[in-house]
Structure 1
Amino acid sequence: MSELAPLISDLGTILIVAGCVTILFKWLKQPVILGYIVAGFITGPSVSFLPNVTDTANIKIWADIGVIFLLFAMGLEFSFRKLLNVGLSAVIATLTIVAGMMFLGYTAGNAMGFTHITSLFLGGMLSMSSTAIVFKAFNDMNLLQQKFTGIVLGILVVEDLVGVVMLVVLSTLAASQHFEGTALLGSLFKLIGFLIFWSALGIYLLPTFMKKIRQYISDEILLIVSLGLCLLMVRIAVGAGFSSALGAFVMGSLLAETIESEKISRVVQPVKDLFAAIFFVSVGMMIDPHVIAEYIIPIIILTLLVLAGQTFFGTIGILLSGQSLKVAVQSGFSLTQVGEFSFIIASLGVSLKVTDSNLYPIIVAVSVITTFFTPYMIRLSGPAYNLLEKHIPQGLDQLLAKYAAGTMSDRHQNDWNKLLKSMFIGVTVYLTICIVFIALFFSQIYPFIQERLPGIYGTALGTAIIFSVVSPLLWAIITKKNHSPEFQKLWNDNRFNRGALVSLILVKVLFCIAILMSLVVRLFNVASGAALIVAAAIVISFYFSKRLRKQSLMIEERFNQNFMGQEDTQEKMNQTKSLFDGADQLANLHTADFTVSPDSCSAGSMLKKIAPRTRFRINIISITRGENQIDLPEGNESIYPYDKITAVGTDEDLKRFGQELDTRRETGKNPDKRLPMGIRNICLETTSKLNNKRLSDIKTKAFIVLGLERDKQITMNPGPDTLFQAGDIIWIVGKKGAEQEII
């Protein structure tokens, strides 16, 4: 009689127990992740009176696969456009939270007697909140339409990226076992180069590749292709000296930019759920009741540290980013849990054998407790804000309001800042791609050519290959933003600007000459002086080459098309940050999305009958119907079941609108072929096209006027007879570039 392999019997035990426990937790309205951890505890070595896992080594391999697919799924939900959409608020808040919690965790670890490296890992674990748990809590509490929830979800997006970087940094520190600034800095530069190169190359190639094969792939083939690409990037990342988790996350974020991103998420979901469940079960197996009993005091201390620290640093970080005190308090109280990324960091420490053995069960216990308290902390944010509002000094309250107003203003954007920022990003990306291509060429391609075609012929072939690759990139570096509106405006505004602008161009030219010099010296072994002359001549020829100009523009056009995407996602419409200065009522405006219920009494009605602007003080900026999207719909437009509506308003007004329509909040992704809609404010200059015009005279479908500020008086949704004057500050919602019809 044949025997059943331990791997199969163990997997059966895990899935049966996990299924029963998670059903129980679902009935108790508790997070499923907690159910998996409890199932792992039951099937682990700590519980002997029930069937348990016999071969934990095999389960560890499955758990490692679970980490890969979990990070891959996180990458699919990440997308670079989503990172751009979350805005500066989320970035500032995230950096504040991570820095603060890293400091608290490291200090607490040292105080508890942990080693320095264990304390660093502890700080990393405490700084990561849970995307899955927070989103579920918001959904269960019907809070997804609130302004602060969009900011919190944006912070969690940035935290995912920070968590991936943290894995690399902690791995480097663990490998060296001591703090070497040079080695750490080198690893960070290597990581940045890896991310920039593969991100740019992936965005350039993958969306086009997926469009080409779209008609030939079924769900089955798409699943195989997606997981194959994921594991390919895992091999590349590990080969480059990074973790498998980084490779999985990068490939997921690249596939998130493709036309099939939503479909990939759907077909990968069951695989991710299976292996992620095994990973969290393996986490539960690490729980030792004796260790928890022994370390109950540190567990309580760390739990209180997470609850208090995340609340404090979250509130401070969001205040620093320019949000109101109410939004900051609500957001800070929502981030008070130890998330799934913490388990991945803990697993890394265990696998590298650099953390104390008792840390894993301690952090699991802290995670369970803080997860349980999450909904209660969110509910507590309201009373906490009311208490603060009553006792905060009036001067401080006014100072916070002015600070928020000042950071939100975009009327006085500096042309120099805009030019330098865009030029720096573009040049950095192109330089990084050039350097990585050159490194790959001399380490892999050129030795291969010389081995099979030695001498001058091999050198000529190698020269032709590397120059054909880098020449369009170098042309782009030299000319990047030289003809942009900001550059032209600065050039024409002030003669003193011209010297600085010419210097910027010269710096870019020098970068290109340095790159070409290194190529000439390496390929032809000539003196530096001769290489300098040759490189300068090549740069001049590059600049005037029409062929290179055409190639470079084609590359950039494809990259921009793939990055912006014809099949952009709903996150474009879900920009919850406000770009207002002035009154609180305007600063609290944000976008929200609804799906019209099939049994809604408003289905089939025209917008002018529903009267969203007058009855609810909200503006509908988009209706998506199937593959079609109607931007800034007029009053004669009707709404139908399953229409997806994007509206602008305050939390309260949007909530009333949703209740009136009998709609539900849309939480999934939504294809969108149009330009992103944004909220912005504009100060009317004396040359503005709107001066001395009435609102009724403006015949455009590019934007809607939301509000008007004149002499510090605010008018929401101004009437058709409103006459615009120079000095007015108007708030609009519309497509990118809509302000060109005003200025």
Structure 2
Amino acid sequence: MHHLPELITDLALILVTAAITTLIFKKIKQPLVLGYIIAGLLVGPNIKLFPTISEYKNISTWAELGVIILLFSLGLEFSFKKLIKVGGASSITAVFQIVVMLFVGYFAGHLMGWSQMNCFFLGAMLSISSTTIIIRAFEELDVKNKKYASVVFGALIVEDLVAIVLMVLLTTVAVSQQFAGMEMLYSILKLIFFLILWFAGGIYFIPTFLKKSRKLMTDETMLLVALGLCLTMVILADQAGFSPALGAFIMGSILAETTEAEHVEHLIKPIKDLFGAVFFVSVGMMIDPGVLVEYAYPIGILTLVTIFGKAIASTIGALISGQPLKQSVQTGMSLAQIGEFSFIIATLGLSLKVISPFLYPIIVAVSAITTFTTPYLIKYSGSFYGLIERNASPKFLRVIENYGTDTQSIVVLSDWNIFLKSYAINMLLNIVLLIAFGLLSALYIYPFIQEHVINGFNGSVTGIVISFILTVPFLWALTMKQIAPAEYQRLWDNEKKGRSPLILLGVVRLLVGLLSVGFLLSFYLDTALATIISLIVFAVFFFLFSKRLQFLYDRMEKRFLVNFNERDEANDYKAKITPWDAHIIEFKVSPLSPVIGKTLEEMAIREAYGVNIIMIEREYVTLPLPSRTERIYPGDIISVVGSDEQLLKLKEIIACELTADEIETYTLIKNDLVLKNVIVDKDTPLLNRAIKESGIREKRALVVGVERNGERILNPPSTLYFEEGDIVWIAGGSKVIKELF
């Protein structure tokens, strides 16, 4: 008899159990993540009433793959461009909340007598809210169109990135077993270096590759390409000394900038669901009910710390950013939970063997409890604000309102601001690319040349030439490229007595470029000689080929910007045309909507609802600022500007769906649908009556054909009269047809 591998039997047990528990949780309208955790608890080694898995090591490998796919999917939803557009409100809210919870979590663990490493990881686990749970709760409560929801989503984007940074820093602390300042600084600089390098390279090459191969791409090949890119970046991240999950997240965020992002997200969803389920089930396997009982007191404390700490910290952060009190309270109460990133951080701590085993089930328990409380906190956040408003002093409310108004009116767009921002981006990006290509040449290309092609002095000269060819465009951009030329010229003209900062910044660029050349040449020649050669090469080459280098770099820069902006170029204007308390929401026009076929003028949207349609997107065309004669069709995605209340009213007619009762009625009819023929005789109530007068259609039945004197009439007109001897073919429910005849 053939021996079945234990991995297959374990997976069968996991998936069957997970399917049953998630069906139950779906029925009781609870998050499926909790169902997976319960499934893991049931098939894990700590519950003996049910069959348990045999090879946990194999499942652990699958679970690690689940983390990679999960982080890849989060990256697809993340997008660095979204981070840039998040704005100050979300960034300040997220960063303030994370900093507060890092300290609160650390001191909570310290007060309970836990080790320093447990406290570090606890603070990190309590600081990151759950994107999955919040999005699910917003969808169920139908509050995604609320103004504060945009602040929450922006904060979640920032938190995702900070979570990645925290994982790198925690790994550094775990390896060194101490909070070493220089090692932390090195880890941060290393992370920044690789993030810039991977993102710049990814945006430059990957969208171009996808565009050129679009005609060859089927769903199958696109899925293979996406997963291949994901796992390649996982390997690169691992080789660079980072967590594999970081590589998956970065590749997801790079693909999120391409026009294929939604396509990849759609293709990857079944795989994410499968491996994500295995991961969350593996989380449940590590829960020991005995530990939960033993640590019931810490679980209760940490649950309260999470709910109240995150709600208060997020509310204060939103207030500091200038949000109104109501939106701040709603934002704070929405972010008061922990989820998938907490599990991932806990898994990291266990894999590094630096946290105690009891901490994992405690965090899972806290996550489970706060997941249950999240919908209620969101639902009653408005009522809680009303309570605050009724009991707070008018002076306090007036101070908060004035602060928010003053903060939101501050817009700093000075020439110095724009110039310094462009200067910093130019310096940082080109220094990273210079170092990257220089190290590539010195550590890989040069040794290969010395060993297999030319050795000695000639090999060194060859290495210098190759290194210079690879780095010269970025060296030119670092030292010679015009930065924000319009702002620079205004600053130069308007500050004739204060030009020294501009001159100093120009000198700094030249010195950095000179040092970069010396750094590159030092791999091949001694330092003194490298310095002399660098001066000569730097001056002569740039003098002779400056225009060609500018042309080359401009082409590279243009290609990068086209790739970077391609996906949402049509939407760039949205942020500029949203006044005051209004915001933009996209609605997909339902096939049931009464506005289908009407022009914008006939709909009278502005007059009836006080909103404006600023764009209509169809499958093959985008219509920005559509004219009044433009018609609405099923499936159109319309972008509308308005307030919360106005948009909610409009949604009822634009995105209307069948009610639960209608769905049930139609389902019953569909399942009971039959096609029957009836012969019209003198006793039939149809005799000498027109189809439209027979009442057949009103009873949810349909005349699809009439056979008369050997002639067949398909889909007869409603004005046709039934005659004796007609054979009438009727589609409808069997019960309805029985009642009719």
TM over 0.5: yes
- 654-663 or 172-181: bigger deviation: 654-663
> Mean alpha-carbon deviation: is it higher for 551-560 or for 529-538?
529-538
Q: Secondary structure at the match of 2:142?
A: coil
Q: Do the aligned partners of residues 286 and 538 (structure 1) sit closer, same or farther apart at CA in structure 2, a change above 3 Å counting?
A: farther
Q: C-alpha separation between the residues in 2 aligned to 1:539 and 1:513?
A: 13
Pair 490,395 (structure 1): closer, same or farther in 2 beyond 3 Å: farther
Partner of 2:314: 314
Q: Please state whether the residue corresponding to 1:587 is helix, strand or coil.
A: coil
Aligned residues of 1:573 and 1:646 also touching (Cα < 8 A): no
Aligned residue in 2 for 1:613: 606
CA offset digits 1:671-722 (Å, max 9, x no partner): xxxxxxxxxxxxxxxxxxxxxxxxxxxxxxxxxxxxxxxxxxxxxxxxxxxx
Question: Are residues 1:74 and 2:67 paired?
Answer: no
Per the alignment, residue 430 of structure 2 pairs with 430
* Greater alpha carbon shift after TM alignment, 505-514 vs 387-396: 387-396
Report the 3-state secondary structure (helix = DSSP H, G, I; strand = E; otherwise coil) of the residue aligned with 2:524: helix
Give the equivalent residue in structure 2 for 1:459.
460
What residue identity is the alignment partner of 1:628?
A: V
Residues 658 and 664, structure 1, Cα contact 8 Å, conserved in 2: no
Q: Number of residues paired by the alignment?
A: 656
Partner amino acid, structure 2, of 1:101: M
User: What's the counterpart of residue 591 of structure 1?
Assistant: 584
Kept in 2: contact 1:105–1:123 (CA 8 A): yes
Flag structure 2 segments of 5+ consecutive residues without an equivalent. Answer: 659-741
Deviations 1:567-607 (A, max 9, x none): 338986886xx999xxxxx5321111111111211111111
Task: Quote the residue 2:408 is aligned against.
Answer: 408
**1:522 maps onto 2:519 in alignment:** no
Distance 2:480 2:331 in 1: 43
Contact 2:337 2:374 in 1 (8 A): yes
Alpha-carbon offset, residue 519 of structure 1: 2.3
Which residues of 2 match residues 378-389 of structure 1 at below 5 A? 378-389=378-389
Map of 2:184 onto structure 1: 184
Q: Give, in angstroms, the shift of residue 126 of structure 1.
A: 0.6
Deviation sequence 1:241-291 (CA, Å, 0-9, x none) = 111011111111111122322211111111111111100000001111110
Alignment of 1:265-664 (within 5 A): 265-409=265-409, 413-452=413-452, 453-525=454-526, 527=528, 530-531=532-533, 533-534=535-536, 536-538=538-540, 540-541=542-543, 545-565=546-566, 567-568=567-568, 587-663=580-656
Q: Is 356-365 or 223-232 further displaced after alignment?
A: 223-232
Q: What residue is the counterpart of 2:83 in the other structure?
A: 83
Which position in structure 1 is the counterpart of 2:222? 222
**Distance change (3 Å), C-alpha of 1:538 and 1:40:** farther
Change (3 A) 1:344 1:526: closer
**SS in structure 2 opposite 1:594?**
strand
Name the CA distance, whole Å, in 2 between partners of 1:294 and 1:579: 57
Give the root-mean-square deviation of aligned CA atoms. 2.0
Query: What whole-Å deviation, never above 9, does each CA across 1:8-58 have from its counterpart, x for those lacking one?
Result: 100000000000110111111111101100100111112112111111111
Whether the 8 Å CA contact 1:324–1:400 is kept in 2: the answer is: yes
Aligned residue in 1 for 2:661: none
Q: Mean Cα displacement is larger for which, 252-261 or 32-41?
A: 252-261
Q: 1:517 to 1:349 in 2, by over 3 A?
A: same
Matched residue SS, 1:591: strand
Can you list the C-alpha shifts for 1:178-203, whole angstroms capped at 9, x where unaligned?
Answer: 11111111111111101111111111
AA of the residue aligned to 2:131: T
Task: Write the deviation string for residues 515-572 of structure 1: whole angstroms up to 9, x where unpaired.
Answer: 0122234333251652463255157427x6111011100110011011111x338986
Counterpart AA for 1:466: S
Taking the TM superposition and a 5 Å limit, the aligned residue runs for 1:54-69 are 54-69=54-69
1:481–1:144 CA distance, 2 compared to 1 (3 A): farther
Structure 2 Cα separation of the partners of residues 474 and 200 of structure 1:
16
1:442 and 1:200, CA in 2 relative to 1: closer, same or farther beyond 3 A?
Answer: same
Show the 5 A alignment for 1:699-714: none
How many angstroms apart in 1 are the aligned matches of 2:122 and 2:571?
33
Tell me the distance in 2 between the aligned counterparts of 1:412 and 1:88: 12
Q: Distance between the aligned counterparts of 2:27 and 2:600, measured in 1?
A: 41
Are the structure 2 counterparts of residues 570 and 382 from structure 1 closer, same or farther at C-alpha, using a change threshold of 3 Å?
farther
Equivalent-residue separation in structure 2 for 1:123 and 1:560 (angstroms):
39
- The offset of 1:355, in angstroms, is 0.3
**Secondary structure in 2 aligned to 1:524?**
coil
Q: Aligned partners of 2:647, 2:24: CA distance in 1, in Å?
A: 35
Could you tell me whether the CA contact under 8 Å between 2:481 and 2:550 is conserved in 1?
no
Whole-angstrom distance in 2 between the partners of 1:18 and 1:660: 38
Q: Is the 8 A contact 1:594 1:664 kept in 2?
A: no
CA contact (8 A) 1:624 1:645 kept: yes
Counterpart-to-counterpart distance in 2, 1:20 and 1:293: 26
Helix, strand or coil: the match of 2:248? helix
Distance 1:391 1:425, change over 3 A: farther
Offset of residue 411 of structure 1: 5.3
Cα gap change, 1:570/1:142 in structure 2, threshold over 3 Å: closer, same or farther?
farther
CA distance in 1, matches of 2:657, 2:407: 33
SS at match of 1:622: strand
For 1:717, the equivalent position in structure 2 comes to none
Residue aligning to 1:583: none
TM-score (norm 2): 0.86
SS at match of 2:213: helix
Q: What displacement does 1:489 show?
A: 2.1
The 3-state SS of whatever aligns with 1:630 is: strand
Q: Is the 8 A contact 1:595 1:663 kept in 2?
A: no
Mapping 1:663-742, distance limit 5 Å: 663=656
* Structure 1 position 96 matched with structure 2 position 96: yes
Determine helix, strand or coil for the equivalent of 2:477: helix
CA distance in 1, matches of 2:310, 2:577: 26
For residues 569 and 252 of structure 1, do their structure 2 counterparts lie closer, same or farther at Cα, with a shift above 3 Å needed? Answer: farther
Q: Larger radius of gyration, structure 1 or 2?
A: 2
Q: Structure 1 pair 574/147, CA: closer, same or farther in 2 (3 Å)?
A: farther
TM-score, scaled to structure 1: 0.85
Which secondary structure does the structure 2 equivalent of 1:316 belong to? helix
Deviation at 1:618, TM superposition (A): 1.4
Q: 1:96 to 1:326 in 2, by over 3 A?
A: same
Partner of 2:247: 247
Contact conserved, 2:442 with 2:463, CA < 8 A, in 1? no
SS of equivalent to 1:442: helix
- Label 1:480 to 1:657 Cα distance change in 2 as closer, same or farther (>3 A): farther
1:294 to 1:538, Cα distance in 2 relative to 1, 3 A: farther
Contact 2:235 2:247 survives alignment (8 Å): yes
Aligned partners of 2:484 and 2:105: how far apart in 1? Answer: 49
* Inter-partner Cα distance in structure 2 for 1:480 and 1:74: 36
Match of 2:585, SS state, is strand
Q: Aligned letter for 1:613?
A: R
- Distance, in Å, in 1 between the alignment partners of 2:323 and 2:418 is 23
How many Å separate the matches in 2 of 1:120 and 1:475? 44
Cα displacement (A) at 1:422: 2.1
1:3 deviates by 2.1
Structure 1 pair 456/493, CA: closer, same or farther in 2 (3 Å)? same
CA contact (8 A) 1:427 1:480 kept: no
1:574–1:65 Cα change, 3 Å: farther
Letter in 2 for 1:644: I
* % identity of equivalent residues: 44
The 2-side partners of 1:662 and 1:518 are apart by: 61
